């Protein structure tokens, strides 16, 4: 018997391809006698089936497994909602890159059949928890699986900010911003900014400056349990903004402080047997291709 009995489905906003994939999934789950909960993101499809969609908070608390149907962006959105729960999650790729969602729609019967038979690989991925402080008060708290990004809002102009790690002053730099990423996020925005690729099993955080004014400001990798503080300096002519996985955003004022720590509860990823991280890198980054 499968160790997963109640399955939650979270999808990208429904389109024809999502509905076709959902139909295959729901049929497979029904054939195995598994209970299916459809997230509110699949409300239109749920109504077609005469099923009431389940609010995200309820779904994340009551499922044994969450299956995400979409691309990496949909997966990141789902992961943040699972941050305080230890529910494993599996991705079906309807997007483009697919670093996190590694089951293709045509493989659903075979790969999910093996997963439900207990033949799978489980992997833990780190999350970041961020607090925004203003005038000694916390005005926002956010999660990120990929990265926390400080950047200029609306205009092309550098901002000035001060960085400290574990209470120790690092530097003041002028740049377009700073990407603070997990190993998972090292292949996202940080990679395009010249940052290193970190293997997902590393307990580390990378800080990658975006177009720094001083070219000697290079990416920095620190221990995963580091506390990173970024303070907006008081003489900025441009407004700053902080983004979480490129999806949630918050505007900043001068002297605001961004405090970033590793979240104590990791995300549990489920991969089919045969998952190979280096194969993912070769395929997605087109390594070893001949010109």
CA distance 131 to 100: 26
CA distance 225 to 228: 9
User: Which tokens in the block code for residue 211?
Assistant: 């177009």
The burial of 288, by beta-carbon neighbours within 10 Å (0-12 exposed, 13-18 middle, 19 or more buried), is given as: exposed
CA distance 243 to 251: 9
C-alpha closest to that of 148 among 132, 133, 167: 132
Decide if 106 contacts 81 (C-beta within 8 A): no
Q: Phi/psi at 241 (nearest 5 deg)?
A: -145, 145
Q: Other C-beta atoms within 10 Å of 13: how many?
A: 11
Contacts of 243 (CB under 8 A, 6+ apart): 148, 149, 151, 249
CA distance 130 to 269: 22
53, 96, 128, 152, 171 from 142: Cα distances, Å: 25, 26, 8, 19, 25
**3-class secondary structure, 164:** strand
Catalytic residue, chosen from 39, 72, 245, 256, is 72
CA distance 219 to 277: 23
176 is catalytic: no
Give catalytic residues, as residue numbers: 72
């Amino acid at each position: 018997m499968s160790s997963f009995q109640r399955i939650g489905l979270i999808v990208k906003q429904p389109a024809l391809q999502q509905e076709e994939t959902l139909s295959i999934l729901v049929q497979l789950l029904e054939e195995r006698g598994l209970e299916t909960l459809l997230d509110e993101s699949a409300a239109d499809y749920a109504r077609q089936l005469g099923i009431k969609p389940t609010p995200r908070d309820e779904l994340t608390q009551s499922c044994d497994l969450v299956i995400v149907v979409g691309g990496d962006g949909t997966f990141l959105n789902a992961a943040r909602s699972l941050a305080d729960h230890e529910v494993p999650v599996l991705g079906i790729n309807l997007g483009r890159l697919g670093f996190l969602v590694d089951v293709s729609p045509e493989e659903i019967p075979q790969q999910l059949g093996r997963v439900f038979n207990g033949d799978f690989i489980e992997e833990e991925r780190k999350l970041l928890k961020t607090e925004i402080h203003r005038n000694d008060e916390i005005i926002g708290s956010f999660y990120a699986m990929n990265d926390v990004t400080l950047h200029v809002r609306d205009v092309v102009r550098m901002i000035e900010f001060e960085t400290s790690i574990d209470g120790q002053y690092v530097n003041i730099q002028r740049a377009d911003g700073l990407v603070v990423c997990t190993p998972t996020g090292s292949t996202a925005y940080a990679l395009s900014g010249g940052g290193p690729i970190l293997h997902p099993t590393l307990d580390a955080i990378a800080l990658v400056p975006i177009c720094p004014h001083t070219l000697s400001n290079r990416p920095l990798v620190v221990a995963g349990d580091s506390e990173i503080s970024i303070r907006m300096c008081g003489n900025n002519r441009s407004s700053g903004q902080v983004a979480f996985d490129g999806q949630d955003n918050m505007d900043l004022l001068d002297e605001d402080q961004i405090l970033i720590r590793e979240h104590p509860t990791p995300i549990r990823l489920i991969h089919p047997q045969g998952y190979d991280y280096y194969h993912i890198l070769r395929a997605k980054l087109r390594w070893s291709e001949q010109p």
